[in-house]
């Protein structure tokens, strides 16, 4: 969302009738609206008589342009202005407004039902005609169930599935964070993670059988810290999402968290023996580097790998015959590729955000090291 130093945490959303505060972007700036829903709804409102037509940003073609002292700029904010100017100019710029958005369906999404969708008093349309058909869509396997209530279908936000059916379930989940929620085997995320684990098992040992996959719901502190870092790296490098990749990490588990659907309680915060629960609770801590092995091929850092079987070598279970491994969203940024040991590194080389250890020299399998 676009930046404006004139707005703050008490500024009200500009959508008519909304009394919520404007959205606070991870970079510290504030939007014109409380969220993406009202931003897009505003763009669809009929213009008042005599008012200038709504103009959208030339870069993202979604947000309204920034207006300063009555003058409309070409972009919604500095971020989009910089992104637009940094685009290659060897050919004509793409006209992102050339196609119209598909109109949302007005019929119930349950197969065989032609009834009109339910519309709230505020004009928000559901994808179904009733709660009964929402439930049936899950029971009949037509929709993925909310990870929190497991009753209603996941909501769609910008044509992408949320993990939850509603703001109520989302709020409830994050209020209990950090926590883990089990992924059903028929969910696409389960299939994606399972495929990544099997496909990236490169050791000659037998590939393990996946018993369960859990979604980690981090607390707001960890989420905000990650979002701010990702955004900062994206802006500095012009790499989408800061060149974020999913990478595996093996560590110590001193409990049986996740072994069955009832074992979902993390070790006490005072516990120092369970690294798995500590990472879930507060993410990775560089200060704990080398506590087990006292060695880092590329110096001090946070080590992950695209190779699931390599991460498996670092899993240590203290009271379970099953093994647990973490799949992490890692912001790699601009990477420095190395093939030989460099154990004296204390941070990525100047101009880089992380180190990638590539197979060939001293390595048999890849490593990703960040600070």
**Would the CA dihedral through 346, 349, 354, 358 be positive or negative?**
negative
Contact 2, 77 (CB under 8 A): yes
pLDDT of residue 195: 98
Q: How far is 298 from 309, CA to CA, in rounded Å?
A: 20
Q: How far is 10 from 204, CA to CA, in rounded Å?
A: 58
Contact 360, 348 (CB under 8 A): no
Cβ neighbourhood burial of 17 (10 Å; 0-12, 13-18, 19+): exposed
Q: How far is 241 from 234, CA to CA, in rounded Å?
A: 5
pLDDT of residue 26: 58
> To which residue do tokens 């505060």 refer?
21
Q: How far is 281 from 86, CA to CA, in rounded Å?
A: 39
pLDDT of residue 55: 57
Cβ neighbourhood burial of 118 (10 Å; 0-12, 13-18, 19+): middle
The full set of domains in the chain, from first to last, is 1-86 (no CATH), 195-370 (3.90.228.10)
Q: How far is 35 from 32, CA to CA, in rounded Å?
A: 9
Contact 253, 316 (CB under 8 A): yes
For the range 268-275, what are the long-range contacts, defined as Cβ-Cβ under 8 Å and sequence gap of 24 or more? 273/318, 275/251
Contact 127, 116 (CB under 8 A): no
pLDDT of residue 101: 38
Tokens of 300: 């001090």
SS3 160: strand
Contact 268, 116 (CB under 8 A): no
Give one DSSP letter per residue of 193-218, joined into a string.
Answer: HHHHHHHT--SSSPPPPP---EEEE-
pLDDT of residue 1: 38
Q: What is the pLDDT along the chain (371 residues), one digit of tens a residue?
A: 344 456 777 888 888 888 888 877 655 667 777 776 777 677 666 554 444 445 567 677 667 766 655 455 667 777 777 776 665 433 333 333 333 334 456 899 999 999 999 988 878 889 999 999 999 999 999 999 999 999 999 998 877 889 999 999 999 999 999 999 999 999 999 999 999 999 999 999 999 999 999 999 999 889 888 988 998 999 899 899 999 999 999 999 999 999 999 999 999 998 889 999 999 998 988 766 666 665 688 888 999 999 999 999 999 999 999 999 999 999 999 999 999 999 999 899 999 999 999 998 899 999 999 87
Contact 197, 308 (CB under 8 A): yes
pLDDT of residue 357: 95
Q: How far is 49 from 54, CA to CA, in rounded Å?
A: 13
How would you classify residue 241: left for phi > 0, otherwise alpha for psi between -120 and 50, otherwise beta?
A: left
pLDDT of residue 257: 97
pLDDT of residue 99: 34
Query: In the predicted model, what is the mean pLDDT of the chain?
Result: 84
pLDDT of residue 49: 44
Q: How far is 275 from 303, CA to CA, in rounded Å?
A: 14
pLDDT of residue 110: 96
């Amino acid at each position: 969302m676009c930046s404006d130093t004139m707005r703050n945490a008490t500024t009200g959303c500009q959508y008519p009738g909304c009394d919520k505060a404007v959205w606070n972007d991870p970079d510290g700036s504030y939007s014109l609206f409380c969220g993406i829903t009202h931003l897009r709804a505003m763009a669809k409102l009929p213009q008042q008589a005599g008012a200038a037509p709504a103009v959208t940003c030339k870069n993202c073609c979604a947000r309204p342009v920034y207006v300063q002292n009555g003058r409309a700029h070409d972009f919604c904010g500095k971020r989009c202005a910089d992104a637009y100017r940094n685009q290659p100019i060897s050919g004509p710029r793409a006209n992102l407004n050339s196609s119209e958005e598909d109109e949302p369906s007005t019929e119930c999404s349950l197969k065989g039902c032609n009834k009109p969708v339910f519309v709230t008093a505020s004009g928000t349309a559901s994808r179904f005609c009733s709660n009964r058909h929402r439930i049936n869509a899950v029971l009949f396997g037509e929709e993925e169930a909310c990870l929190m209530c497991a009753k209603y279908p996941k909501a769609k936000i910008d044509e992408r599935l949320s993990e939850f059916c509603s703001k109520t379930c989302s709020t409830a989940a994050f209020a209990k964070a950090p926590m883990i929620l089990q992924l059903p085997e028929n969910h696409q995320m389960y299939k994606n993670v399972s495929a990544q684990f099997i496909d990236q098992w490169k050791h000659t040992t037998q590939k393990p059988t996946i018993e369960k996959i859990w979604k980690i719901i981090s607390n707001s502190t960890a989420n905000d810290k990650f979002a701010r870092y990702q955004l900062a790296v994206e802006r500095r490098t012009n790499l989408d999402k800061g060149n974020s990749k999913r990478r595996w990490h093996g560590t110590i588990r001193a409990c049986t968290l996740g072994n069955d659907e009832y074992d979902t309680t993390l070790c006490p915060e005072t516990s120092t023996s369970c690294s798995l629960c500590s990472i879930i609770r507060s993410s990775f801590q560089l200060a704990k580097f080398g506590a087990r092995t006292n060695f880092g091929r590329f110096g001090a850092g946070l080590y992950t790998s695209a190779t699931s079987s390599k991460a498996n070598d670092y899993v240590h279970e203290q009271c379970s015959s099953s093994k647990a491994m973490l799949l992490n969203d890692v912001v790699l940024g601009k990477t420095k590729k190395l093939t030989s040991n460099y154990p004296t590194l204390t941070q990525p080389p100047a101009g880089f955000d992380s180190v990638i250890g590539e197979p060939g020299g001293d390595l048999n399998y890849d490593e990703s090291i960040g600070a």
